[in-house]
Amino acid sequence: MDNPIRSHQLSNGLTLLAESMPWMESAAFTLLLPCGSVYDPEDRAGLSGLVCEMSLRGCGPRDSREFVEDLDSLGVDRNENVDEAYTILNGAMLAENLPAALAIYADLVRRPHLPADQLEAGRRVMLQELHGLEDDPQSKVMLELKRRFYHSPWGRPSQGKGDDLKKMTIEHVQEHFEKTYTPQGTILAIAGKFDWEPLCEQVETLFGDWPGEALPPLPAQPPKPQTDHLQYDSNQTQIGLAYPTLPFSNPDYLKAAASVSILSGGSSSRLFTEVREKRGLCYSVYAGYHSLIDTAGILCYAGTSTDRAQETLDVMLSELARLQQGIDLSELTRMKARYKSALIMQQESSSSRSSFLAQEWFFRKKVRTLSEIQAQIDGLQLDVLNQYLAEHPAKDFTCFTLGAEPLEVSHAVL
């Protein structure tokens, strides 16, 4: 039986979504603002991330320390993230503390202090995150892959650029906040134990008079195949490979996501079996589905030694091409089992559910019930999925490598 999911639209454009999970003693919220790194000015890459960091340094009647202490007193397990398309704030706590936590976060997105005397501290946090990528080549290669695959502005990483971050002023932060933190398109998703009517009343009180104009839409350009390499002094090579697929908003997206599960859904998946287990070519290999609003990609990664890098890439490309020949019933069965297990696990977490609600609405402007999703999974028939794979072959690759030597991508698969 599905949990009841309710929605309420505020006059200023903010959408409230709520899924009742009354057997829980917890509640979680996801506050999604449709402002991400795509809205960073060309010469201020990382500004959205810096705004998010600075917004955490005091809001409403609380200074930076009081903000942290008040949330800790409420037991809020929190997280913040700036993506390409949005800034997302999450919190989970005992259900009885949800109203107080929402009041604090209303201050955060509406009345942050953005204190000038803490700008340097906020900048250092951003620079440390950026510098940390140098010690994490796997993350670095995937960020650089997305930068090339999606093109500007959709490929911009939220970490920004060091030179740009060093030039940003508190005025830049304040102006960007005023421009991008707006109720238009913002989603507040709640999951767990709550009373609907009091929740609606509180959200109207906290956010109802929040003014702001909608940000202009930024249509994504279709990816163009390319190959690039960044010299990196190491005896290991990091390989990033991407190709276009259907976005999350497409009714057939599950077929695209299913192909990723076949490639990278555990130790029986094709990439793990063929690249790592049978040939021992790499220490890590996987594929993932990544979607923006209007475009999406299947992003693959492998980390290997320099002397085996070209063979690793060749085998990866061969496995991607082999998808067009179809899959067998055992692969389909395992894929469905993984999806259904994930649904069950998600149902046991109010945090996962609130995040799911927000992203469903952001991409689809509606929320599917668990029964609807399960029916879509059950409806994936072998002949239908194989027809999709035959009609949507892996092609138009973008390849980015990080290591001592560049690699060659076969023209036959471009």
Q: What are the tens digits of pLDDT across the range 83-100?
A: 999 999 999 999 999 999
> Within a domain: residue 376?
yes
Q: Are residues 184 and 243 in the same domain?
A: no
Q: Are residues 108 and 172 in the same domain?
A: yes
Instruction: Report whether 401 contacts 310 (CB < 8 A).
Output: no
> Within a domain: residue 365?
yes
Report the pLDDT value the prediction gives residue 291, as an integer from 0 to 100.
92
Report the pLDDT value the prediction gives residue 354, as an integer from 0 to 100.
96
Q: Are residues 270 and 348 in the same domain?
A: yes
The CATH number linked to 242 is 3.30.830.10
Q: Are residues 266 and 310 in the same domain?
A: yes
Report the pLDDT value the prediction gives residue 122, as an integer from 0 to 100.
97
Report the pLDDT value the prediction gives residue 411, as an integer from 0 to 100.
45
Q: Are residues 156 and 254 in the same domain?
A: no
Instruction: Report whether 235 contacts 307 (CB < 8 A).
Output: no
Interval 256-274 mean pLDDT = 89
Q: Are residues 18 and 116 in the same domain?
A: yes
For tokens 């959200």, the residue is 203
Of 207, 239, 257, at which residue does a domain stop?
Answer: 207
pLDDT surpassing 50 at residue 413: no
Share the mean pLDDT of the chain.
93
Interval 372-386 mean pLDDT = 92
Strand 26-33 and strand 87-94: the pairing is antiparallel
Report the pLDDT value the prediction gives residue 1, as an integer from 0 to 100.
62
Q: Are residues 178 and 304 in the same domain?
A: no
What separation in angstroms does the CA of 157 have from each of 45, 83, 150, 259?
8, 8, 11, 26
- Range(s) of the domain holding residue 230: 226-413
Q: Are residues 27 and 122 in the same domain?
A: yes
Of 172, 207, 242, at which residue does a domain stop?
Answer: 207
Interval 126-150 mean pLDDT = 93
Q: Are residues 246 and 331 in the same domain?
A: yes
> Within a domain: residue 218?
no
Q: In 33-97, where does DSSP find H-type helix?
A: 47-55, 64-73
Interval 121-129 mean pLDDT = 96
> Within a domain: residue 380?
yes
pLDDT surpassing 50 at residue 109: yes
Q: Are residues 405 and 273 in the same domain?
A: yes
What separation in angstroms does the CA of 163 have from each of 40, 46, 72, 120?
14, 10, 35, 14
pLDDT by residue (tens digit) across 165-185? 999 999 999 999 999 999 999
Of 146, 178, 207, at which residue does a domain stop?
Answer: 207
Report the pLDDT value the prediction gives residue 200, as an integer from 0 to 100.
97
Confidence (pTM)? 0.93
> Within a domain: residue 219?
no
Q: Are residues 162 and 235 in the same domain?
A: no
Best CA proximity match to 327, nearest among 395, 243, 269:
269
> Within a domain: residue 315?
yes
Categorise residue 138: left if φ over 0, alpha if ψ from -120 to 50, beta otherwise.
alpha
Report the pLDDT value the prediction gives residue 414, as an integer from 0 to 100.
42
Number of domains in the chain: 2
Q: Are residues 376 and 324 in the same domain?
A: yes
pLDDT surpassing 90 at residue 339: no
What separation in angstroms does the CA of 291 have from each of 125, 214, 245, 370?
28, 22, 9, 21
> Within a domain: residue 153?
yes
> Within a domain: residue 246?
yes
